[in-house]
Amino acid sequence: MPLTGSQVVTSADVDSDVAAIRAVCPRLRIGDVRQFSYANLLYERLRSPMSHEYRTGAHTVPHKMTDLVDVPVSYFNWIFEPGTVEKPPSRKGLPIRHIHFHVEWLASITRQVGKAADATKHPLPQPARWWIHRRRKKSKT
């Protein structure tokens, strides 16, 4: 999707799951794709900054760009980064999309996690490696 300065963009317009991304670009490592997953973005750009800095993090905004209720995220287009007067040189003057996680979606995730936690009878062991850090196994040849 070409970048425009005025189009309201939601998750349905630009976001894909890992399998779809890998089908288009199979050389991408799963860890690289997962770095930009909602789970990781939620942690890096929302949960952690809200916990430690009392604000949303880099490239996030606290308000949504659409009244649609069936989308998990929408994107807020900035021509300039807030607080600056110059366009970032790496973007060549194109807008920068900041993500907003819709509260309705976050609430539904919270309810789902709560139900799953209630259904768990035993404490789960700590994983040896977290999902985002998974690396491909080397084939034995």
Read off the tokens for 126: 């700590």
Reading the chain (141 residues) residue by residue, the pLDDT tens digits are 455 556 677 777 778 888 888 899 999 888 888 888 888 888 888 888 888 888 888 778 888 888 887 888 888 777 666 666 665 555 555 667 788 888 888 899 889 989 988 888 777 788 888 777 766 555 554
* Amino acid type, 10: T
Rounded to whole angstroms, the Cα distance separating 17 from 33 reads: 9
**Contact predicate 73/38, CB 8 Å:** yes
The residues spanned by each domain of the chain are: 9-119
Residue 22 — φ and ψ, nearest 5°?
A: -65, -30
**Cα 98 off chain centre by:** 10
Global model pTM greater than 0.95: no
Read off the tokens for 62: 């606290």
